[in-house]
Amino acid sequence: MRVINHGTDHACEGDSVADAPLYARIGYSTVTTPCLDVEAETNPLEMSTALLNAAGDGSHRAGMVRLALDVADDVGYAASRSRSHWVEPDTHQQGHGSGAVGHARYAGMITVVSLVHAEWELRLVRVDRPSEQAIALRVGGWALTGEGPEVRTDERETSVCLPGLSCRVIAVDGGPCDPVIYQRAEASPLPGLTAVPAMTVAVSAGKWRAFAISLAGGEGAVAGRVPTLHSLVEDGEDVVAVVTWPSHGLVTTRCPGVVLRS
C-alpha cells in the first residue's frame, strides 16, 4: 500500500521549519522507508520536489497548504503549495519527529499536483517567484533499500530495481532533464544500500513540468508501459491534464484551484 501526501507535514501552515522525514515526504508505502540518516533531516531527497542551491541543498515544503483532493474517473488527484525554503538547523535541539528549526532562507513557491492510478504517480510541478539562489529543481522518487540494487539511467528515465520491487522516474513532458541516482549507505533501518532515482531540471518560473513515478514489482515493471501525457494546460485557476494510463486508458483530469496568480 502507498499513500500520496498533500495533507500533513507535522507543521502549522506557513511554518518555515525543516521537513520531518517521517511526515513531510510526498509519498509513503508499506514496502519502503524514507531515508532517516542525518542528511535526510536537512536535505529532502526521496519522494520530494525541491529547489537546489549552489551547495546542492534541497528546499523544504513544511508549512505547506493543501489545495485539492478528490477522485474522478478512478484517477486520484491531490495538490499542495509550499513557500519552499532552505533551513540551517539550530544546534542542540531534540529530534522528536517534527522538523528541525533554524535559520530559513526563501527558495520559491512550489505547487505540486499528484495524479495517481495503479502503480503510477504523475507529478506535475510548477515553480513561481524563485529565489536567485535556486539553480535547479529536483524531483525524487521512492527510496529502495537492499543488497546490490540495480540502477539505470538514460536520456529521460532513471530507475532502481531490487528483487520484487522497482521505482522509475521519467520526464514525460518532453522538456530538458538530467536523470540521476543517489546512493547512501546506512540511510535506512532496512539492511543494504539505499538508492533513490531522481530527475533534476532547470528552474522555469511559471511553467509546468511533468514526471511519471512508479513503485511496482521487479524487473518486469521496469520494462512496463508508461503513462502518456497528451496535454497539460491551465484553465483559469485549474490545471487540466489529458493522460493515457497504461491500465486505464484515456482520462481527462481537472485539478481545481491550483494555479498561483500574481
Residue ranges of domains in the chain? 2-255
Virtual torsion, Cα 74, 81, 121, 226, nearest 10 deg: 110
Strand runs labelled E in the chain: 2-4, 27-29, 49-52, 65-72, 75-89, 102-117, 120-128, 136-140, 144-146, 150-153, 157-162, 165-171, 178-185, 193-201, 208-216, 228-235, 238-245, 249-255
pLDDT for 219: 65
What is the reported pLDDT for 97? 66
Mean pLDDT (10-residue bins), the chain, 262 residues: 92 88 96 93 96 97 96 98 92 67 92 97 98 98 96 95 95 96 95 97 97 86 86 97 96 97 76
At residue 75, the pLDDT reads 98
The single-letter code of the amino acid at 9 is: D
Q: Is 221 helix (H, G, I), strand (E, B) or coil?
A: helix
According to CATH, the topology of domain 2-255 is: Beta-galactosidase; Chain A, domain 5 (2.70.98)
Q: What is the pLDDT of residue 13?
A: 87
So what's the pLDDT on residue 79? 98
